[in-house]
Structure 1
Amino acid sequence: MTRPVAPFGQRLRDVFDGLGHLCVGIDPHDHLLDAWGLDNSPAGLREFGLRVVDSAVGVVGIVKPQIAFFERFGSAGYAALEDVLTAARESSLIVIADAKRGDIGSSVDAYGAAWLEPGSPLEADAVTLAAYTGTGSLHGVFDLASRHGKGAFVLAATSNPESLAVQSSLVAEGNRTGSTVAGLVAAELDDYNRARSAGAHLVSAPVGSIGVVLGATKNLLDYGVDVHSLGESRPLLPVLAPGFGHQGATFGDARTVFGPLVASTIVSTSRAALAAGPAKLRDALSQQASELAGALS
């Protein structure tokens, strides 16, 4: 008999308590492959990813492969990715597949199965999603995730400068008329987590399993996202936060930007750590994890 898997939010909380909030991206940019002495090829990507996994074990608890870097090599790239995902899962790391998928009906359900179904070659612990078709269109993926102890993170207020015009646009109708697009996404995910927790008699669960992507470089109120209001809900809305390091945010900004949601925020680092190179990556991650712990204490 298969033992039930703990909810993703609980597993996330356990990682926060044990190893902290730092997540390292597996982002094999061309210049990083060159600096690491690796070929810009599926074999190079595989080696890069496996070295990041090895460096992360025991230092950070979360890794986030950027799928696009593997996808550009087609089936050979996906084969390399499968090896990296397997190695990360076998090392008991939480794996967030940064795939940014989104669609409707059976199509989006198939995306969910690809990334979250146990036994899938691309199985991860969570996947990033886009909600341009509305958060309701993603509920099939959310429900699949909940059944298998998996998670998802939906884009809301992203770190790129072009995002403000769309994501701060006002909702014209419905029960949240006047909300921004980003605020609506965050609020609807918060609603989903609370409804799921209440239905499962887990009202005291510390962190939800379906989260939101909020860029650390942003004034979130400009996007209509009130982290203080969201922080009053239980379980806490999990946040995947890009923008630290190369994009300009510092660990010291985390409390200011995310307020009470800092307790459920995954702080993502990528190029700022990966630039240390394979021989020094573990030390770089250890130092960043320590600095982040100090900033959040």
Structure 2
Amino acid sequence: MFQYRLVERGNALKTRLCLGLDPRLAAYDSVEAMRSHTLAVLEAVAPFIVCVKPQAAFYEAAGLPGLQLMDEVMMLARRLDVPVLLDAKRGDIGSTAEAYAQAWLEGRHAGNAITINPYLGFATLRPFVASARQHGGAVFVLVRTSNPDSGDLQGLMADGCSVAEHVAREVARLGEEEAEALASVGAVVGATHPAELARFRALMPKATLLLPGLGAQGATAATLAPAFLAEGTGAVVSASRGIQYAQGCDLDAAVAAARGYRDELNLAAGQHG
């Protein structure tokens, strides 16, 4: 199961770092240059990461060559035994949700896990959760996202708690349907909200937390200790631009950035449990 693959790989490599791969066509002279650099970054930093998180939008923006590159990224990750967490933020109802789940959690072109959007209602989560459970994958529900204006909706109060907290309670409820100590239903909680991490950790004790926002968005590893469970498990922290474009397209700089983030996160995780 995906959540335990993260634990096993994290323990083996002593890392809690998730590599976000967001190839920006404007940074390159050609699509081929974008392709070669993106794949080279993944291969070079693989020893320092617990998983890779391709952001689907950047691949879609490059058209068919971009989608082909996303497929290549996932194939390379499989060869390197790096779990794939696809950042697609899908969410829809009924048969459409089932089709999204089939596309991104099943079959040859799928990832091992996907981010999903609950804002059409909690019934939208069911097809994704069912597919993840059937295929040993995972879903990461948007709870408290890393962007500065996330509070516009997620911070609204209803029945004494925020919308984000209501979503967190549903994540916890889904997790309780499973006997495992770590559930296949995880949550996205921005690393940019360190003061709220203890609260969301308490609300979702069985959820693996995906913490985006390290580096370019301003989050720092030292503030993230409350997100981790005992022995530094239960959370992975994503950095994207801060690694892939740490110093332009310099590969050595990407490796150095990944190594540095890994070491900082290990220190933070070691402060808990």
1:75-130 Cα distance to aligned partner (Å, 9 max, x none): 221112111111112210011111111100010111111111032x2x11111111
Normalization by structure 1: what TM-score? 0.82
Distance, in Å, in 1 between the alignment partners of 2:73 and 2:242 is 21
Figure out how many residues of one structure are paired with residues of the other and give that number. Answer: 265
Residue identity opposite 1:92 in structure 2:
D
Q: Quote the residue 1:192 is aligned against.
A: 174
Task: Give the counterpart of 1:87 among 76, 79, 94.
Answer: 76
Task: Give the counterpart of 2:215 among 245, 248, 251.
Answer: 245
Distance, in Å, in 2 between the alignment partners of 1:129 and 1:170 is 22
**1:279 and 2:241 correspond:** no
**1:178 and 2:170 correspond:** no
CA contact (8 A) 1:26 1:66 kept: yes
Distance, in Å, in 2 between the alignment partners of 1:289 and 1:110 is 36
**1:103 and 2:92 correspond:** yes
Distance, in Å, in 1 between the alignment partners of 2:83 and 2:222 is 24
**1:153 and 2:140 correspond:** yes
Distance, in Å, in 2 between the alignment partners of 1:47 and 1:131 is 35
- More divergent stretch after superposition (62-71 vs 133-142): 133-142
CA contact (8 A) 2:165 2:200 kept: no
Q: Quote the residue 2:127 is aligned against.
A: 140
Residue identity opposite 2:259 in structure 1:
S
Normalization by structure 2: what TM-score? 0.89
Q: Quote the residue 1:56 is aligned against.
A: 45
**1:23 and 2:10 correspond:** no
Task: Give the counterpart of 1:268 among 232, 238, 241.
Answer: 238
Residue identity opposite 2:70 in structure 1:
L
Displacement, 1:219? Answer: 5.2
CA contact (8 A) 1:45 1:70 kept: no
Q: Quote the residue 1:174 is aligned against.
A: none
Distance, in Å, in 1 between the alignment partners of 2:228 and 2:132 is 27
Distance, in Å, in 2 between the alignment partners of 1:125 and 1:52 is 20
1:54-89 Cα distance to aligned partner (Å, 9 max, x none): 112222121111111110122221112111111112
Structure 2 unaligned segments of length 5 or more: list them.
none
Residue identity opposite 1:11 in structure 2:
R
Q: Quote the residue 1:289 is aligned against.
A: 262
Taking structure 1 as reference, are residues 69 and 291 closer, same or farther at Cα in structure 2, changes over 3 Å only? same
- More divergent stretch after superposition (280-289 vs 57-66): 280-289
CA contact (8 A) 1:157 1:220 kept: no
Task: Give the counterpart of 1:114 among 92, 100, 103.
Answer: 103
CA contact (8 A) 2:25 2:62 kept: no
Distance, in Å, in 2 between the alignment partners of 1:263 and 1:61 is 11
Residue identity opposite 1:249 in structure 2:
A
Distance, in Å, in 1 between the alignment partners of 2:34 and 2:104 is 19
Partner-residue secondary structure (3-state), 1:247: coil
1:193-235 Cα distance to aligned partner (Å, 9 max, x none): 11122xxxx3xx3x222111111112564x9x8235326x3xx
Taking structure 1 as reference, are residues 216 and 109 closer, same or farther at Cα in structure 2, changes over 3 Å only? same
CA contact (8 A) 2:17 2:265 kept: yes
CA contact (8 A) 2:228 2:269 kept: no
Structure 1 unaligned segments of length 5 or more: list them.
1-6, 172-176
Taking structure 1 as reference, are residues 220 and 133 closer, same or farther at Cα in structure 2, changes over 3 Å only? farther
Displacement, 1:245? Answer: 1.0
1:253-292 Cα distance to aligned partner (Å, 9 max, x none): 1015x36596311111112222142133223312321222
